[in-house]
Amino acid sequence: MKFSLLTLVFFSLSFVTSAYSNPKTTAMELGKAKYLMCSACHGMDGKGLQISPGMLMAPAYAESTLVDSPEAFALLLLKGIAKEGADFMGVMAPLEAALNDEDMAAVMTYVRNTYRGHDDVISPSQVEEWRSKYADRKEPVTRAELQELVE
């Protein structure tokens, strides 16, 4: 009896520990915390914060194929998007200095899984690769450039 109770405690503890150390769970928790920064414009529901009827602070993720392409998503976060029209009140600013590799990977994982139905994890080493690939790029990227990465 004593043995089985201990075994039960042991298994419950190892289950709890594995749930917390699961890379996806960890990334989703960190990503949700970092997403607060994005919610100021994109809204906590990812639908874009409404400023007035017909005017959003930032686009909704619902139709965003840019979120589906990990490289396009990383690039727009690192460099920001060049302001080409007046569709949105806000500006997508470069966040390469604001988010380290781990934070950026986590926020990407959170957005892709929460709003676009993906079931995967973006790793900090992927972000590190994109950061160095685009290190010389100083200007915000255009939508045309991002679109090329999607197709």
Name the residues that contact ligand HEC, by CB under 6 A.
37-38, 40-42, 58-59, 64, 66-67, 73, 76-77, 81, 83, 88, 90-93, 95, 107, 111
Q: Give the nearer residue to ligand HEC in terms of CB position, either 19 or 60.
A: 60
Smallest distance, ligand HEC to C-beta of residue 30, A? 12
Smallest distance, ligand HEC to C-beta of residue 136, A? 22
Smallest distance, ligand HEC to C-beta of residue 97, A? 12
Q: Give the nearer residue to ligand HEC in terms of CB position, either 17 or 142.
A: 142
Position of tokens 């042991």?
10
Q: Which residue is nearest to ligand HEC (CB)?
A: 38
The residue ranges of DSSP E strands in the chain, in sequence order, are: 50-52, 55-56
Angle CA 100–125–151, to nearest 5: 100
Smallest distance, ligand HEC to C-beta of residue 9, A? 41
Rg (CA), the chain: 19
Contact 88, 33 (CB under 8 A): no
Going 73 to 79 to 85 to 88, the CA torsion angle's sign is: positive
